[in-house]
Structure 1
Amino acid sequence: MIDVHNMTKKYGKLKANDNINLSVAAGELAVLLGPNGAGKSTLIKSVCGLLRYEGSITIGGHENHTVEAKRLLGYVPEFPVLYPMLTVGEHLEFIAKAYRLESWEERAQELLRRFELDDKQLKLGKELSKGMQQKVSVCCALLPEPKTVIFDEPLVGLDPHGIRELKNLIARLRDSGCALVVSTHMIESMEDNWDVTYIMVKGKIERVVRRGDIAGQRLEDVYFAITEGQLQGGAQ
C-alpha cells in the first residue's frame, strides 16, 4: 500500500533523507523509530505529499500527489492544526464535504464518543486543549475510512483514556487490513502490535527489523543497541 523507493530529500547540502526504501503492506503495522533529527518527520511529510523530493512514493499504486492516493491516505500530524473558528462538529463536516462522503454522521458520532468529544461538538478549535486538538485530528483523519494511515507521535498530549482508545483503534485498523505507519518515541506503546520497524539514524534507515527477527527481545533494547552504537561511533 505504501511504497517508498530511493527517496532523497535535501535542504541545501543537507540530506534529511538519504536514499530511503520502505514498504508497508495492507494489514501491516510499521513503526518508525529514530532519535531527534533522524529524518522521520521529513519522511512522513514526503510520503503525505507535503514536500518535494527525489525518488518515488506511491500509495496503493498511485503516485502520492494524485487525488487517488490522497483518498486512500489518512494523516495525523505531530502538531494538530485546527481551524480556530470552526467547532469540533464543523471540522468533521468540513472533512465529509471535502471527501464527498455520504452517510458519514453516524461514523462521526462514533469517533467522537470513542475519544470523549461527543459533549465538545460546539467548542471552537481555539478553545480546545492540545490533547483535545489531537483527538479531533485523529477523528478527522479516520472519518473517510482511509486504507492507509500515518500517525506522527500520536500519543503525545493524550490523556490515559485517549491513549488506550487510540492504541485499541490502531490495532483494529490493522486487523481490518489498513496499512499503518506510526512514528513515535514511546517505543513501549507499540510493543504489542508491530510487524516491522524501520530504525532511522542521520537520515538513513539503519536497520529494518521484523518481529520474527528478535524473538525473545524487546524492541526498545534492539533500538538502543543500534542507535547508541551509531551515535557513539559518530562521536569518536
Structure 2
Amino acid sequence: MEQEVLRVINLKKRYKSTNAVNGISFSLNKGEIVALTGPNGAGKTTTIKCILGLLRKNDGKIFINGEDNSSKEVKYKLAYIPETPDIYPMLTVWEHIKFMAMVYKINGWQERAEKILFDFDILDKKNELGKNLSKGMKQKLSICCALIHNPEIFFIDEPLVGLDPKAVRELKDAFKALREKGKTLLISTHMLDTAENLCDRIIVMKKGKVLEEGSIEELRHKIKASQGTSLEDIFLEVTEDER
C-alpha cells in the first residue's frame, strides 16, 4: 500500500498581478521519484519553494506526513538541492558535512558521514576544497550534505544541467539509490528523456497550473497515444492544448 508523504492542496502564490502558482494540488508517495516539468515560467521552482517554506504562499494547504509544513519538526524531514550547488570554495568536502551536522545539532555524525561519502563515491575527495570539485562532484556533495540529517523528501532543481555524460549517469544512479532507501524525490527538470527513464510519475505544469500527472503509461492513455510515444511528444501535445 502506498504511503503518502506530501500533499499539496489548492496552492496559490501571486507576485503582484501575476499568478505564479494558480491553485495546484498533487501528492507524493514514499519511495518514488517524481518529475515536475513544464515550460519556463510554469511555476515549478515557486511551487518547490512554497513547500519548503522559503516563499510565503497566498493560499492553500501543504502537509508533510499529515502535518502542516510550517512546523519546525516537519522542516527537518525536507532537503533542497538547488540548480547551482551551494558549495563553499574554501571548505573541504568533510568540512561541508561537518558544517551541516553542526547546523542540525547532530551528535556522533562522523561515522554516518563517512558512509554517506562512501556510498556516493566521493570519500576519497574528503580533503578536497570545494573550488576544486567538478559540477558533478558538487552536486553529489550537495546530496551528501542534505543526507546527514536523514530527510524523507528531496526537492531537486534541474540537477543534470551542464553535466557530462559520466556525471549524469552517476547522479541518476545516486537518485535511484535514494529511492531504494525509501526516500522520495521531486525533481524539477526540462530534460524530458531523463524524466521518462528515471521517474515513476510526471507532473506537467504550465502558467501556474497542473495540466496532467501520472506515469508515462497513464499519460499516454490520457492523450490516446501509442505505446511508443515519448514523454517529449506527450509534453508538447499537453502544453500545446493549453494556450
Q: Which runs of 4+ in 1 moved over 6 A?
A: none
Structure 2 partner of 1:75: 80
User: Does 2:22 correspond to 1:18?
Assistant: yes
CA distance in structure 1 between the aligned counterparts of 2:112 and 2:161, rounded to whole angstroms: 24
Residues in 2 aligned to 1:113 and 1:157: alpha-carbon distance in whole angstroms? 24
Is the alpha carbon distance of 1:196 and 1:110 closer, same or farther for their aligned partners in structure 2, counting shifts above 3 Å?
Answer: same
Q: Give the residue type in structure 1 aligned to 2:199.
A: W
When structure 1 is superposed on structure 2, of 111-120 and 207-216 the one drifting more is 111-120
CA–CA distance in structure 2, aligned partners of residues 219 and 104 of structure 1: 41
Corresponding residue for residue 211 of structure 2:
206
1:1-236 alignment to 2 at 5 Å?
1-53=5-57, 54-213=59-218, 214=220, 216=227, 217-230=229-242, 234=243
How has the CA–CA distance of structure 1 residues 122 and 94 changed in structure 2, closer, same or farther, with 3 Å as cutoff? same
- SS of 2:125's partner is coil
1:142 Cα deviation (Å)?
2.0
**CA–CA distance in 2 between the matches of 1:77 and 1:141?**
11
* Helix, strand or coil at the partner of 1:223: helix
Offset, 1:85: 3.8
Segments of 5+ residues of structure 2 without an aligned counterpart are 222-226
Contact 2:101 2:149 in 1 (8 A): yes
Letter matched to residue 81 of structure 1: D
SS in 1 for 2:123: coil
Q: Distance in 2 between matches of 1:129 and 1:170?
A: 18
Q: Which moved more, 1:46-55 or 1:171-180?
A: 171-180
CA–CA distance in structure 1, aligned partners of residues 93 and 62 of structure 2: 32
What is the Cα-based RMSD across aligned positions, in Å? 2.2
Identity of aligned residues (%): 45
Q: What's the TM-score, normalizing by structure 1?
A: 0.87
